[in-house]
């Protein structure tokens, strides 16, 4: 009789321990999943921002976005970044007289052409100094010190400040914490607004499964189901190929 009671007590103790373990896990598993999700999404977001930077620069120079990683990477590795160097600005007096940036630039460019037909200059600085001091139109419009030049910079250094090089820029296409998966990339270069204005669009995506797939399966299913019921994309993305959103991320 005593032996059977002891067995029952042991069984109850074991059941209580098992239930306690399940209760603890039911609390800690979602917390751990959420903590890991937040940490990983920080890395994915940073990479998406880098990818967006590349696409925006490509669009700036080419007029379209690209869905080809080969094309985008070749562009980043071989193309210079063009920037307008500005020196001097128009005064209120000049603006009130009807002088605009395009008009001022035209006067400067014409003065440069005339000067180069007559003289040789060892540097751009020497050329500008000459036209500022000698060209009648430049002096008449008080454009001494006004200068606009397009300069070419190293693309990767200009965009990423040493974060990427030619050797590792391919990483920009890869989803962090995935099995070396690439971001899903789509473009819609023929989108038109209701006013008929063409607005090229792009979208880069990382589904939850790509960077959370090795975590608790039920928590991942719950997360995907929750986002889908809210009609949200089940993951992280930038841009939208169906509606202009200024290339915003869905976390912003």
> Average pLDDT for residues 204-229, to the nearest whole number?
96
The residue ranges of every structural domain in the chain are 42-78+165-252, 89-145
pLDDT, residue 237, reads 98
Lowest-confidence pick of 17-21, 40-44, 99-103:
17-21
pLDDT at 19 over 90: no
> Average pLDDT for residues 77-93, to the nearest whole number?
93
pLDDT, residue 5, reads 62
Instruction: Tell whether pTM > 0.85.
Output: no
> Average pLDDT for residues 30-37, to the nearest whole number?
94
> Average pLDDT for residues 198-204, to the nearest whole number?
97
Could you tell me the pLDDT band of residue 29, with boundaries at 50, 70 and 90?
A: confident
Q: Give the separation between CA 66 and CA 19, rounded to whole angstroms.
A: 55
Q: Give the separation between CA 236 and CA 204, rounded to whole angstroms.
A: 9
Residue 12, CA atoms < 13 Å, CB-side half-sphere = 6
Lowest-confidence pick of 55-59, 149-153, 202-206:
149-153
Residue-wise pLDDT for 122-168, tens only, equals: 999 999 999 999 999 999 999 999 999 989 999 999 999 999 999 99
> Average pLDDT for residues 85-104, to the nearest whole number?
94
pLDDT, residue 240, reads 97
Beta bridge partners of residue 80, listed in sequence order: 154
Q: For residue 215, how far is the Cα from the chain centroid?
A: 27
> How is residue 67 written in tokens?
């869905």
Q: Give the separation between CA 116 and CA 121, rounded to whole angstroms.
A: 8
| 3 vs 203, higher pLDDT | 203
pLDDT at 100 over 90: yes
pLDDT, residue 60, reads 95
> How is residue 153 written in tokens?
């910079």
pLDDT, residue 183, reads 98
pLDDT at 2 over 60: no
List helix spans (H) across the chain: 2-62, 69-78, 92-96, 101-118, 124-134, 136-140, 155-160, 208-212, 217-229
Could you tell me the pLDDT band of residue 13, with boundaries at 50, 70 and 90?
A: low
Q: Residue 187 belongs to what H/E stretch?
A: strand 184-188
pLDDT, residue 243, reads 93
Neighbours of 114 (CB within 10 A): 14
């Amino acid at each position: 009789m005593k032996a059977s009671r002891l067995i029952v007590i042991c069984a109850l103790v074991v059941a209580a321990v098992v239930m306690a373990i399940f209760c603890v896990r039911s609390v800690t598993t979602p917390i751990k999943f959420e903590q890991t999700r937040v940490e990983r999404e920080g890395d994915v977001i940073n990479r998406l921002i880098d990818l967006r930077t590349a696409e925006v620069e490509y669009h700036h120079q080419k007029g379209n976005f690209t869905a080809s990683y080969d094309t985008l990477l070749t562009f980043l590795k071989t193309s210079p970044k063009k920037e307008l160097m500005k020196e001097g600005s128009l005064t209120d007096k000049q603006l009130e007289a009807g002088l605009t940036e395009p008009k001022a630039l035209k006067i400067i460019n014409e003065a440069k052409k005339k000067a180069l037909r007559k003289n040789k200059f060892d540097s751009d600085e020497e050329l500008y100094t000459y036209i500022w001091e000698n060209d009648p139109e430049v002096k008449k419009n008080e454009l001494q010190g006004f200068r606009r030049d397009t300069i070419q910079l190293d693309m990767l250094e200009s965009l990423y400040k040493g974060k990427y090089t030619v050797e590792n820029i391919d990483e920009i296409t890869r989803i962090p914490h995935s099995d070396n998966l690439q971001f899903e990339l789509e473009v819609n270069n023929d989108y038109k607004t209701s006013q008929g204005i063409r607005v090229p669009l792009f979208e880069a995506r990382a589904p939850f499964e790509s960077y959370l797939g090795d975590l608790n399966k039920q928590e991942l299913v719950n997360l995907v189901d929750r986002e889908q019921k809210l009609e949200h994309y089940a993951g992280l993305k930038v841009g939208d190929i169906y509606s202009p959103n200024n290339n915003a991320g869905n976390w912003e």
